[in-house]
Chains A and B, each alone.
Chain A
C-alpha cells in the first residue's frame, strides 16, 4: 500500500512539473501574446492540478487534505477566469493577434456556376 501511494504521487508530481516547465518554455518562445496566453493558461491550471493531486495523495492527515482540496478548487476556478479576462481586455484594447494573412480557400459549394 505504501509503495502504491509513493508511485502514484511521484507520477502525478512528475507530470505536473513537466507541464509547468513546458509552460514556462512556451511563454518564452511563442511569437505572439495570444499564443503565449494559451500556453500559460492551459499548462498552468493542469500542471497545478496535477501537483496538488500528487500532494493530496501524500498528505498525512485530514486537515491538510482539506486545505489542499480548497487550494485545488480555487486554482481550477481562478485559472481559466484570469485567462478569459486577460484575453478579453487585450482584445478590447486593440491588441491584434499575429495572423498570417493568407487568403481563405473558396469552398466548392459556394460558387457552383463558375
Chain B
C-alpha cells in the first residue's frame, strides 16, 4: 500500500511539472511549484517509511518550511511593473495599480 501511494504521489508530481512548463501565466507556474513542493514533502515522508529510516522526517519538515518561504518570497518580489498582468493577456480592462 505504501508503494502504491508513492507511485500515486509521483504521478501527481509529473502532472504538476507539466503544468509548470506549459502554463500561460506566471501564477500558474508559481502554483505548480507550490504543489510540487507539497508533494515532495509527502514523497519524502513515504520514502522514509518504505526504506525504514525515520530520519527523513527532518527533511520533510525542512521542505515544508522552505516551500512556504519560497512562495512568499516569489510573491513578494514579483509585484513590480514588469510582472503586472498586461491587458494583452485577457480581454477585460486592467485594474489600476
The chain A residues found within 8 Å of chain B, CB to CB, are 9-10, 13-14, 16-18, 20-21, 23-25, 27-28, 33, 36-37, 40, 44, 47-48, 51-52, 54-55, 58, 60, 63-64, 67-68, 70-71, 74-75, 78-79, 81-82, 85-86, 89-90, 92-96, 98
A33-B31 contact, Cβ under 8 Å, with A64-B57, A82-B68: yes
A89 touches B41 (CB 8 A): no
* Chain B contact residues, majority secondary structure: helix
Count chain A CB atoms within 10 A of each CB in B41, B49, B61, B64 and give the residue with the most: B64
A27–B67 Cα distance when bound, in Å, is: 18
Residues of B near A27 (CB, < 8 A) are: 15-16, 19, 31-32, 35
Chain A residues lying within 8 Å of B67, measured Cβ to Cβ, are 78, 82
Chain A interface main SS type: helix
Chain A residues with CB under 8 Å of B92's CB are: 96
